Amino acid sequence: MPEIQKSKDSKYRPYIKRLAIIFAACFVIALVFNEAAYRIQKDSNDRAPQLVQIVIPAGTAARVAAGEPVPSIPPGVSFVEGDVLEVINQDSVNHQLGPLWIPAGTSASLAMDNPEKLSYSCSFQTSKFLDILVRPATTYSDRISGLSISVPTLTALVFVYSLAALPLDGREKKENDARSAETNG
Amino acid sequence: MKSKVVLFGAGIFIGLALVLGGWGIYKVGYQFHGSVINPPVRAADFSLIDQNGTSYRLSDQRGKTVLLFFGYTHCPDECPGTLAQFKQIKQQIGGKAKDVEFVMITVDPTRDTREQLHNYVPGFDPAFIGLTGSPADLEQVWKSYGVYVSPAPADSQGNYEVGHNTRIYLIDKQGDWRITYPYGMESSQIAEDLDHLLN
């Protein structure tokens, strides 16, 4: 019985060996291609999370009341998921931005944890609103899940192709048969 | 004998390092979930009337942490949602709740009389405080806290909604604005922050 088992193992061994080699090769190829594609198509805003600061300069409330825009404050801000927004209020009056309450002379911060597009009510814009765009970040887990899809698929395709293009009846099979004969005595 | 002393000394040293390191991480590493006001500044003081007709002055609450929001009793969504959240927070912080005051200030003084607040706010928790006052006093408070109040036109039955901010203000024991929370933040996160502050 053990001999039959051994014989069966030997029968599949060349397939397993070939599959392992192809898997390793496909892993490297997929890794290189995925990374290259990621870097070529990467959005310029896709970066590691960071601190994004908005400074409300002194005199902002007076300018806004007069209907004059504050040049240093953009009408909208783009974030990457995980960024932290810090609003620094250098004005002499309290300001607010959506859920942020920023008393005069202080700062307040907000973590941008969810990809979303919204318009916050804003006391330091003449329009009374500030557009916020939070883009999803491409994480390592996204890239690994990309590999987990591409590597098995590529391996299966190349393996099937290899069986058709280089059948195991050739040198590899003969070597294996010889090895089996030696093993069986 | 000498090696035992060295081992004993090393054990004490490592133990101390772990305790101090852990304490340092605990003290330095805590990240509040809400929007932290840095540095904390004195919250605008006010004096209003609670649901029992008693005067309530913010500066008299020093030594207690105050969770405060602006709402109204006829609100269909955010205000009862926030009061329900206050109830959850109170349960989550357990015995420490005795050092916290949960306060709603009305944005609808026409309908939110003392009696109306008395009928509504304690329904969530008898310890919760609903505040009202004269329109002039309330407008001053709304302005100090950056609250916009925008009543919508009344329908045929005279019902109307009032647009207003939904953030929650956390005022610490020193009477300073410390943190604000957007509507919809998890109760457990606010409770965690409170728990940390009350420690």
Residue A185 falls within a domain, yes or no?
A: no
Residue B17 has pLDDT above 70, yes or no: no
Burial class (CB in 10 A: 0-12, 13-18, 19+), B72: buried
C-alpha dihedral sign at A74, A75, A78, A79? positive
Residue A30 falls within a domain, yes or no?
A: yes
- Binary contact (A108, B35; C-beta < 8 A): yes
Residue A84 falls within a domain, yes or no?
A: yes
- Binary contact (A106, B169; C-beta < 8 A): no
Among A102, A118, A135, the domain-final residue is: A135
Kindly list the domain boundaries of chain B, sorted by start residue.
1-30, 35-198
Helices (H), B30-77: none
Q: What's the pLDDT score for residue A145?
A: 85
Q: What's the pLDDT score for residue B21?
A: 54
Domain range for A70 is 51-135
Nearest one of A136, A135, A105, A101 to A120, comparing CA atoms: A101
Q: What's the pLDDT score for residue A112?
A: 87
Other Cβ atoms within 10 Å of A131 Cβ, number: 16
Q: What's the pLDDT score for residue B29?
A: 75
Residues A120 and A147 in one domain: no
Residues A121 and A83 in one domain: yes
Q: What's the pLDDT score for residue A45?
A: 67
Residues A60 and A77: their CA atoms lie apart, in Å, by 18
Burial class (CB in 10 A: 0-12, 13-18, 19+), B69: buried
Residues A96 and A146 in one domain: no
Residues A20 and A66 in one domain: no
Secondary structure (H, E, C), chain A? CHHHHHHHHHHHHHHHHHHHHHHHHHHHHHHHHHHHHHHHHCCCCCCCCCEEEEEECCCHHHHHHCCCCCCCCCCEEEEECCCEEEEEECCCCCEEECCEEECCCCEEEEECCCCEEEEEEECCCCCCEEEEEEECCCCHHHHHHHHHHHHHHHHHHHHHHHHHHCCCCCHHHHHHHHHHHHHHC
- Our CA-based measurement puts residue A60 at a distance from the nearest CA of chain B, in whole angstroms, of 16
Interface probe with A: pick from B31, B32, B35, most Cβ of A within 10 Å = B35
Burial A163-182 (b: 16+ CB within 10 A, else e): eeeeeeeeebeeebeeeeee
- Per residue in A59-81, pLDDT tens? 999 999 999 988 888 888 889 88
Evaluate whether the domain defined by B35-198 bears CATH number 3.40.30.10.
yes
Q: Which parts of chain A register pLDDT below 70?
A: 1-9, 43-45, 169-177, 179-180, 183-185
Residues A146 and A89 in one domain: no
The average confidence (pLDDT) of chain B is 89
Interface probe with B: pick from A90, A101, A112, most Cβ of B within 10 Å = A101
Nearest one of B4, B125, B152, B119 to B51, comparing CA atoms: B119
Residue A77 falls within a domain, yes or no?
A: yes
A–B CB contacts, 8 A cutoff, strictly below: 47
Q: What's the pLDDT score for residue B10?
A: 62
Q: What's the pLDDT score for residue B31?
A: 85
B177: chain A residues, CB-CB within 8 Å? 101, 103
- Binary contact (A99, B167; C-beta < 8 A): yes
Residue B127 has pLDDT above 70, yes or no: yes
Nearest CA in chain A to B148: A121
- Per residue in B143-187, pLDDT tens? 999 999 999 999 998 899 999 989 999 999 999 999 999 888 999
Residue A69 falls within a domain, yes or no?
A: yes
- Total number of domains constituting chain A: 2
Residues B173 and B43: their CA atoms lie apart, in Å, by 11
> Does the reported pTM lie above 0.80?
no
